[in-house]
């Protein structure tokens, strides 16, 4: 399998497909994605395995990052880089935002997790237990907005950069400092994106009235040290709320966390990205058809090579096959000319200078069928010439025996 990261061009193309078929939602369902995935030509069993691998958070649907993973796996199989669907998702293909979920699952599968020595818990009256490390997509996008607005040129963020946020939330300074130290065990002056998101998640829950946990799971700490994957899709933002949240409820507090702060930064609101509304069924068919065309051309080259080798071998033994040899040479030249034509046509498809996509592909398919018929006719002719040769040799042997 190629370890080349998903390019920005592919991400843009996947976003067009995703936004079109998800009908503007933040996730795409199996029914919505069924038609586009089945256009790949893979079996339902293969597509089901790919869907399960890409659905990292196990909610039954795919968000945009998970959809990118699914599309990449499909192309890997179509291109022949993968023979079968892998049993587990390769590390280099795991989105950064989902890495902590994968680490947590791996830790549980390997017999549980080890935890740091717990720090003294906050004994403030009225706090609730039940802190959850799971981050809802909308919450995570809010944390990412805050991080992107305050991080430095190298993707790091300092504690003082969020002073304005600390003033806007109902979290004591001691708890803010404790949460920072938990995500920054090495005591550096700045932290990275994963650490910042975990830090903001703790502050958000503390703002809602939940007690900050005593330690961070080992699987989540591991993601702080392995921040390698970068899916540049920061432009995907949640729809803006039509009205303000009720700050007297738990859900209202959760929605209001950092809201005024983000508004002052000027980064709130719905995504400014607008898809063009293109119908991607034909585009996807063309992409996958081009891959199949390359395969069929390779198979055709092999058939021509095999037929040429067989013809040379039989020509050397058949002293009476002059007319057959000339026929073979003629067919060979026609096939070589057809192959050159196909190569030029494929190059035009790659460069986008050929005929209309649907017409070119249909013509290529018909020409390929014609070439295959010619190859079959050539092989049949060779078999008949071989049979005639054997008959002549038998007659020669009979004549020798009578003398």
| Overall average pLDDT of the 289-316 stretch | 78
- With cut-offs at 50, 70 and 90, classify the pLDDT of residue 303: confident
Neighbours of 213 (CB within 10 A): 19
Q: Residue for token digits 């293909």?
A: 93
The CATH T-level fold of domain 8-98 is: Recoverin; domain 1 (1.10.238)
Which residues does residue 158 pair with via DSSP β-bridges, in sequence order?
A: 190
The percent of residues above 90 in pLDDT, for the chain, comes to 10
- With cut-offs at 50, 70 and 90, classify the pLDDT of residue 202: very high
Least confident of 147-156, 229-238, 385-394: 229-238
Alpha carbon distance 224, 243 (integer Å): 36
Q: Is the pLDDT of residue 233 over 90?
A: no
Q: Is the pLDDT of residue 302 over 50?
A: yes
User: What pLDDT is stored for residue 203 in this prediction?
Assistant: 94
Q: By the 8 A CB rule, do 182 and 218 touch?
A: no
For residue 28, the SS3 value is strand
Sequence spans of domains, the chain: 8-98, 137-216+238-265, 280-402
User: What pLDDT is stored for residue 136 in this prediction?
Assistant: 86
Report which of residues 125 and 25 the model is more confident about: 25
Question: Residues 73, 79, 84, 86: is their CA dihedral positive or negative?
Answer: negative
How many helices (H) and strands (E) in the chain? Answer: 15, 4
User: What pLDDT is stored for residue 201 in this prediction?
Assistant: 92
Average pLDDT, the chain: 76
Q: Residue for token digits 């991607």?
A: 280
- pLDDT tens-place string over residues 204-221: 999 988 998 888 877 677
Alpha carbon distance 361, 342 (integer Å): 11
- Using alpha carbons, list the distances in angstroms from residue 42 to 47, 84, 181, 214, 359: 7, 11, 49, 47, 24
Q: What element of type H or E holds 396?
A: helix 357-402
Instruction: State both tokens at 188.
Output: 């550096």
| Overall average pLDDT of the 288-314 stretch | 78
Instruction: State both tokens at 168.
Output: 């806007």
- Gyration radius of the chain over CA positions: 32
Q: Is the pLDDT of residue 319 over 70?
A: no
User: What pLDDT is stored for residue 275 in this prediction?
Assistant: 40
Q: By the 8 A CB rule, do 172 and 209 touch?
A: no
Highest-pLDDT range among 103-117, 127-141, 251-265, 287-301: 127-141
**Is the overall model pTM greater than 0.85, yes or no?**
no
Q: By the 8 A CB rule, do 47 and 37 touch?
A: yes
Highest-pLDDT range among 279-288, 312-321, 352-361, 372-381: 372-381
- pLDDT tens-place string over residues 83-121: 888 888 887 788 877 777 777 776 666 554 443 444 445
Q: Residue for token digits 């002073």?
A: 163
Spacing of C-alpha 199 from chain mean position = 29
User: What pLDDT is stored for residue 199 in this prediction?
Assistant: 92
For residue 157, the SS3 value is strand
Report which of residues 349 and 63 the model is more confident about: 63
Q: Is the pLDDT of residue 228 over 60?
A: no
| Overall average pLDDT of the 28-52 stretch | 89
Q: 8-98 with 137-216+238-265: one CATH topology?
A: yes
Alpha carbon distance 57, 63 (integer Å): 10
For the chain, first and last CA: distance in Å? Answer: 68
Q: By the 8 A CB rule, do 98 and 66 touch?
A: yes
Report which of residues 153 and 34 the model is more confident about: 34
User: What pLDDT is stored for residue 238 in this prediction?
Assistant: 46
- Residue 67: phi and psi, rounded to 5, are -65, -40
CATH 1.10.540.10 at 137-216+238-265, yes or no: no
Instruction: State both tokens at 60.
Output: 């039954």
């Amino acid at each position: 399998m190629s370890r080349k990261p998903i390019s920005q061009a592919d991400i843009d193309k996947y976003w067009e497909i995703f936004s079109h078929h998800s009908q503007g939602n933040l996730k795409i369902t199996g029914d919505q994605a069924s038609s586009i995935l089945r256009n790949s030509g893979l079996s339902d069993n293969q597509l089901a395995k790919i869907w399960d691998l890409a659905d990292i958070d196990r909610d039954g649907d795919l968000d945009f990052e998970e959809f990118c993973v699914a599309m990449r796996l499909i192309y890997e199989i179509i291109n022949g880089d993968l023979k079968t669907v892998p049993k587990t998702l390769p590390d280099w293909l795991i989105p950064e935002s989902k890495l902590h979920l994968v680490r947590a699952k791996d830790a549980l599968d390997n017999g549980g997790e080890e935890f740091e020595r717990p720090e003294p818990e906050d004994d403030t009256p009225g706090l609730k237990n039940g802190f959850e490390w799971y981050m809802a997509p909308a919450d995570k996008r809010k944390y990412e907005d805050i991080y992107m607005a305050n991080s430095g040129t190298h993707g790091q963020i300092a504690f003082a950069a969020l002073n304005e946020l600390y003033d806007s939330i109902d979290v004591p300074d001691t708890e803010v400092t404790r949460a920072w130290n938990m995500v920054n065990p090495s005591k550096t002056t700045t932290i990275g994106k994963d650490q910042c998101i975990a830090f903001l998640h703790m502050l958000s829950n503390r703002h809602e009235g939940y007690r900050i946990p005593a330690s961070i799971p080992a699987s989540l700490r591991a993601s702080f040290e392995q921040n390698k994957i970068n899916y540049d899709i920061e432009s995907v933002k949640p729809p803006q709320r039509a009205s303000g949240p009720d700050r007297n409820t738990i859900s209202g507090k959760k929605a209001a966390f950092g809201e005024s702060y983000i508004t002052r930064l000027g980064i709130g609101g719905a995504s400014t990205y607008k898809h063009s509304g293109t119908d991607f069924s034909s585009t996807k068919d063309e992409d996958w058809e081009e891959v199949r065309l390359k395969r069929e051309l390779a198979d055709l080259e092999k058939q021509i090579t095999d037929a040429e080798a067989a013809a040379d071998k039989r020509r050397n033994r058949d002293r009476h096959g002059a007319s057959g040899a000339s026929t073979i040479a003629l067919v060979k030249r026609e096939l070589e000319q057809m192959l050159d034509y196909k190569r030029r046509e494929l190059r035009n498809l790659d460069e986008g200078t050929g005929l209309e996509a649907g017409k070119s592909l249909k013509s290529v398919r018909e020409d390929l069928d014609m070439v295959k018929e010619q190859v079959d006719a050539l092989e049949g002719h060779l078999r008949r010439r071989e049979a005639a040769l054997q008959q002549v040799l038998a007659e020669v042997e009979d004549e020798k025996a009578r003398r």
